[in-house]
Amino acid sequence: MSGVVGKPAPLVDARAKVTGRGVYTDDVKLPGMLVGKILRSPLAYARILSIDTARAEALPGVRAVVTGRESEVRFGVLPVSRDETAMAVDRVRYIGDCVAGVAADDEEIALEAVRRIEVAYEPLEPVLTLDEALKPAAVPIHDRTLAGTNVQKAVDQSFGDVEAAFAASAFVERRQFRFAAVTHAFTEPHCVIAHWDHDGRLTVWSATQVPHYLHRALSEVTGMPMHLIRIIRPMVGGAFGGKSDPFPHEMIAALLSRRTRRPVKILFDREEVFLTHHGRHPTRTDMAMGVSSEGRLTGLDLKSLIDGGAWGSFGVVTTYYNGVLCMGPYRIDHFRYSGKRCYTNKPPSGAMRGHGAVNSRFAMEVLVDVLAEKAGLDPIEFRLRNLLPPMTTTINEFRITSNGTREALETVRQASEWDAQHGKLPYGEGIGVACGFYISGSALPIHWTKTPQSTVHVKIDSDGGVTVHSLAAEIGQGSDTMLAQCVAEPLGIPLGRVRVFSSDSDTAPIDLGSYSSRVTFMAGNAARRAAEEARKELVAAAAALTGYQPEGFVLRDEQVVYAPDPRIAVSFMDALQEAIKGRGALVARGCYAAAPPMGGKFKGAAAGLSPSYTFQAYVARVSVDPETGFVAVRKIWAAHDCGRALNPTAVIGQIQGCVHMGLGQALAEDFRYHRGNVLDANLLDYRTLTPKQMPPVDVFLIETHDPEGPFGAKEAGEGPILPVAPAVANALHDAVGVRMQELPMTPDRILSEILRGAPGPKARPPAPAGGAGSGRPLVPAGP
Amino acid sequence: MSEGLHAIRPPEQRVEREMVRLRVNGAEHTVAVRPYDVLLDVLRERLLLTGTRRGCDMGTCGCCTVHLDGRPVLSCLTLALEAEGRDITTIEGIAAGEEAGALHPVQEAFVQAGGSQCGFCTPGFIMTAVSLLERNPDPTEEEVREAISGNMCRCTGYIAIVEAIRMAGRELRARRAGPSAAAQGRP
């Protein structure tokens, strides 16, 4: 043991980042490189009658123009919904849909060529709302929809008997919630370079979370076997789910390069980033929950109507997740879910941090608060009474292992001085609680193959340097550092001896990528196992050198030590030289092949099934100006059960980032459309919280030491966003008596709820002038 | 989708280029630029100083922040011609005053405090922070937050960034107070 696990570590690539030397895709400049640009649809829904590229091709400096006819092969991240093509073939499906691609000597020529492409459209009636999408359509947006409507996917699940449970309940509360779309708003625009070289190989550099899925999709779209394609993932400037699909622009760059045999770079401007979107689905959620006279949750009845935009993306998974990720952290014995995801003529929705769980979680935590009130119980006390225990199975057959919800709730209760504040603060001041529940990777992979979900190779040669090879995508979350730690720990070496190579599909074994919060759990386990394989050889070498039994050796402080008598020790380097003598470098591999068998046999049983789950409990403290509806979030207390924090710096950073993104969705962010146009397609009008709006966050790491996680670890990247918005909503109720049922909770919406006659200031003493706390005021989101 | 700043003129129209002398990180460069070329393009595409990041091309993200005569500016909104004869400092030159291979204290603090996750916004924040600490060696938390309000980060919630800047401020103040104080000032 080297003791690197559990200690705060700067990211292994931090120096490259702070010096600007780190290479992102747009920093790659290649000889002969062309500039690629995309012609996008100005119409939300239309037939393409003709495309005339002659005037574009006639422009000197234009090297290739491609349209949808170049490749009509369908692709998509999920095998069940391959509904995208590189460019529109017969119809455009949203404003911003890709129609043609141009490669030219420079950007100005490429843009002029795009302008010269003439497209004749026959407009079709666009489908822009969920209600329209449910009706039979003259021309459904895609071929495979339900009964001639634009419903892409319907999920119906039922466990126990919700109706009977409700009939036997003391109270049943039923409400409707509405959620606006939100988007990732990462700082690095999408960028790709494709080079189809004269040897007939295709190399693609791309800002992606999923190099392996990109690899597969490129192979399908181009017809090139995978072994002739190489994916290189340079540094990625933020992703949050927004770079987790194979994208049309990646296909277009490859097709342009196939024509020109020169490298083609496509870099998006910020408006294109917004049009590409793939953010959180706009959703309408109807939820009912019941409570018994003993204060126990009885049942959950949930209907979700989900706006998918123009493509399938991860939407089938989203549809399941909206339901099944409500199965924790509370014990619920009767559950019914009906979810529908619809196609609309808007930029596609997809996966975004907390994928599929965030909106339903908001509804659920607000309802739990309502029921606590009805039951006459404190919201934390009520939650504590209703928790799932560790090591249990849910009604839908999720296998729950480690579960730190109880400790998380008790921690934030104490730290926030909850008992002295909840229900006791002056009018306008409030405190609220919410929990969360999320997966650490999906137990079953998207493609049902026998390829392990994660494989890691470790090489140690006579220089004593340890190289780690993986395709787990470092996107800023710190996965390279995590891999280095998981390798260094069993080998008893410092991080400085380890170098991680996670960018290149030619040298790395397959990893499914950085999505669904799977990397620490799966790639971390694979890395640890690879290092343990290498360790066996070092131990055998030390045993040979000393004549002692291998069973007694441990690795620590760059020594292979015989534990029963620590005076017997061989240095790491001496053991290494012995191990590679006459054989060459130590090469070891480890994998996370599959989760243990688990789950039910019913349709959809695999959705939401994870080898481990994380749990959260947050408290939010807010001040509300009852005359304007302005909210200031004073503080967030955030307790997250991460199993074990391999790198506390990174885990805390993920939680703080989740709070920022969650507060944005709660209070300000709104991806607005007008007749299919994205209204706020820039980072000024799309309002993420500024530094001055961000409250202090007290983070508490709850370490439950998961039995199957690497060194006990579980995910930290997504679950921590879940309690943010509902904790704020519940605090608003404590402050001014409103129950917010629509996100974002803008001042105008809060004010209208206050004016609708929520219990007024008479119930509580007036707030002292200036309000409580020292938090920063929030600037309202504009209407 | 928008045609952007680069497409103001059709390409067949010949645009007069002007020779401009730019002093970047202390080194003199002569670059032929068009009147509408912005400093960001010249730094990234002509001088290959790619540490200055392109996030939005419209002054909304702060990723392209550089110093002009020590003051932070958005290089995507600064014409290259405006920079003539002035001292331009980019992230690549910010540690020039340190021993070879060492980081500027602000850079070091970003490493230690976890102020950089994906790293794309980081050079811009560091340029803003260095300028702040030169003008105001002991900023309050509110002053730090005000100073970085033109820089966007989507990873950190700004918390570790604010921490890093204040940590760097302590280090810089200790240095100014003298070598013995500097040793004490380190955590």
Judge whether A657 is closer than 8 Å to chain B, CB to CB.
yes
Query: Is A23 in Cβ contact with B50 (below 8 Å)?
Result: yes
Query: Is A21 in Cβ contact with B2 (below 8 Å)?
Result: no
With a CB-CB cutoff of 8 Å, which residues 22-41 of chain A face chain B? 22-24, 26-27, 29, 40
Contacts of A238 in chain B (CB under 8 A): 117-118, 120, 154-155
CA-CA distance, B59 to A684, in Å (whole number)?
Answer: 9
Looking at residue A548, its pLDDT comes to 97
Quick one: DSSP state of residue A333? S
Task: Please check the confidence at residue B99 and state whether its pLDDT lies above 70.
Answer: yes
Nearest residue of chain B to residue A478 (CA atoms): B117
Judge whether A269 is closer than 8 Å to chain B, CB to CB.
yes
Dihedral, CA of residue A25, residue A478, residue A353 and residue A79, to nearest 10: 60
Contact in structure between A137 and A152 (CB atoms under 8 Å): no
Contacts of A111 in chain B (CB under 8 A): 3-4, 6-7
Task: Indicate the pLDDT class of residue B187, thresholds 50, 70 and 90.
Answer: very low
pLDDT digits (tens, 9 = 90+) for A632-650: 999 999 999 999 999 999 9
Tokens read off for A655: 């939680």
Task: Please check the confidence at residue A38 and state whether its pLDDT lies above 70.
Answer: yes
Residue with tokens 């921690």: A411
Judge whether A656 is closer than 8 Å to chain B, CB to CB.
yes
Contact in structure between A605 and A444 (CB atoms under 8 Å): no
- Phi, psi of B160, rounded to the nearest 5 degrees: -70, -25
Task: Indicate the pLDDT class of residue B11, thresholds 50, 70 and 90.
Answer: low
Looking at residue A335, its pLDDT comes to 98
Side-by-side strand order, sheet with A586-592: A498-501, A466-469, A454-460, A586-592
Query: Is A653 in Cβ contact with B155 (below 8 Å)?
Result: yes
Judge whether A187 is closer than 8 Å to chain B, CB to CB.
yes
Q: What's the Rg (C-alpha) of chain B?
A: 18
Task: Please check the confidence at residue A86 and state whether its pLDDT lies above 50.
Answer: yes
CA-CA distance, B186 to B175, in Å (whole number)?
Answer: 10
Of residues A743, A752, A726, the one with CA closest to residue A781: A743
Query: Is A657 in Cβ contact with B154 (below 8 Å)?
Result: yes
Judge whether A260 is closer than 8 Å to chain B, CB to CB.
no
Q: Which of A12, A18, A182 to mutate to test the interface with B (most CBs of B within 10 A)?
A: A18
Looking at residue A780, its pLDDT comes to 44
Looking at residue A771, its pLDDT comes to 42
Contacts of B119 in chain A (CB under 8 A): 13-14, 16-18, 22, 235, 237, 476
Query: Distance from B130 to chain A by nearest Cα, in Å?
Result: 12
Judge whether A55 is closer than 8 Å to chain B, CB to CB.
no
Within A547-673, residue ranges assigned H as helices are: 572-580, 648-667
Task: Please check the confidence at residue B12 and state whether its pLDDT lies above 80.
Answer: no
What is the residue-averaged pLDDT of chain A? 96
Q: Which of A187, A649, A684 to mutate to test the interface with B (most CBs of B within 10 A)?
A: A187
Looking at residue B181, its pLDDT comes to 54
Query: Is B155 in Cβ contact with A238 (below 8 Å)?
Result: yes
Q: Which of B155, B165, B167 to mutate to test the interface with A (most CBs of A within 10 A)?
A: B155
Contacts of A696 in chain B (CB under 8 A): 159
Judge whether A688 is closer than 8 Å to chain B, CB to CB.
yes
Residue with tokens 């490429």: A110
The residue type at A66:
V
Contacts of B159 in chain A (CB under 8 A): 656, 694, 696-697
Nearest residue of chain B to residue A27 (CA atoms): B50
Task: Please check the confidence at residue B8 and state whether its pLDDT lies above 80.
Answer: no
C-alpha count within 13 angstroms, C-beta hemisphere, residue A154: 11
Contact in structure between A104 and A63 (CB atoms under 8 Å): yes
Query: Distance from B82 to chain A by nearest Cα, in Å?
Result: 22
Task: Please check the confidence at residue A517 and state whether its pLDDT lies above 80.
Answer: yes
Task: Indicate the pLDDT class of residue A757, thresholds 50, 70 and 90.
Answer: confident
pLDDT digits (tens, 9 = 90+) for A263-294: 999 999 999 999 999 999 999 999 999 999 99
Task: Indicate the pLDDT class of residue A762, thresholds 50, 70 and 90.
Answer: very low
Looking at residue B7, its pLDDT comes to 45
Nearest residue of chain B to residue A15 (CA atoms): B111
Nearest residue of chain A to residue B61 (CA atoms): A683
Task: Indicate the pLDDT class of residue A449, thresholds 50, 70 and 90.
Answer: confident
For the residues A556-582, what does the mean pLDDT come to?
Answer: 97
Looking at residue A2, its pLDDT comes to 65
* A96, A189, A237: residue with CB nearest B118: A237
What is the residue-averaged pLDDT of chain B? 91
Contacts of B112 in chain A (CB under 8 A): 10
For A411-434, b/e burial (b = at least 16 CB within 10 A) is bbbeebebeebbeebbbbbbbbbb
Judge whether A699 is closer than 8 Å to chain B, CB to CB.
no
Q: Is A31 exposed, middle or buried (0-12, 13-18, 19+ CB in 10 A)?
A: exposed
Tokens read off for A599: 């789950």
Looking at residue A281, its pLDDT comes to 98
Task: Please check the confidence at residue A421 and state whether its pLDDT lies above 90.
Answer: yes
* Strand-strand pairing, A429-439 and A399-400: unpaired
Query: Is A23 in Cβ contact with B114 (below 8 Å)?
Result: no
Query: Is B123 in Cβ contact with A107 (below 8 Å)?
Result: no
Contact in structure between A468 and A487 (CB atoms under 8 Å): yes
* A21, A185, A477: residue with CB nearest B117: A477
* A15, A27, A115: residue with CB nearest B50: A27
With a CB-CB cutoff of 8 Å, which residues 224-253 of chain A face chain B? 235-240
Contacts of A19 in chain B (CB under 8 A): 51, 91-92, 95, 103, 107
Task: Please check the confidence at residue A768 and state whether its pLDDT lies above 90.
Answer: no
Task: Please check the confidence at residue A660 and state whether its pLDDT lies above 80.
Answer: yes
For the residues A208-224, what does the mean pLDDT come to?
Answer: 98
Judge whether A112 is closer than 8 Å to chain B, CB to CB.
yes
- Taking each helix axis from N to C end, the angle separating A211-222 and A248-260, rounded to the nearest 10 degrees, works out to 50
* B54, B120, B149: residue with CB nearest A692: B149
Contacts of A689 in chain B (CB under 8 A): 157
Nearest residue of chain A to residue B10 (CA atoms): A112
Which three-class secondary structure state does DSSP give residue B146? helix
For the residues A454-460, what does the mean pLDDT come to?
Answer: 98
Task: Please check the confidence at residue A781 and state whether its pLDDT lies above 90.
Answer: no
With a CB-CB cutoff of 8 Å, which residues 463-482 of chain A face chain B? 475-478
Looking at residue B183, its pLDDT comes to 53
Contacts of B114 in chain A (CB under 8 A): 8, 10-11, 649-650, 652-653
For the residues B83-91, what does the mean pLDDT come to?
Answer: 97
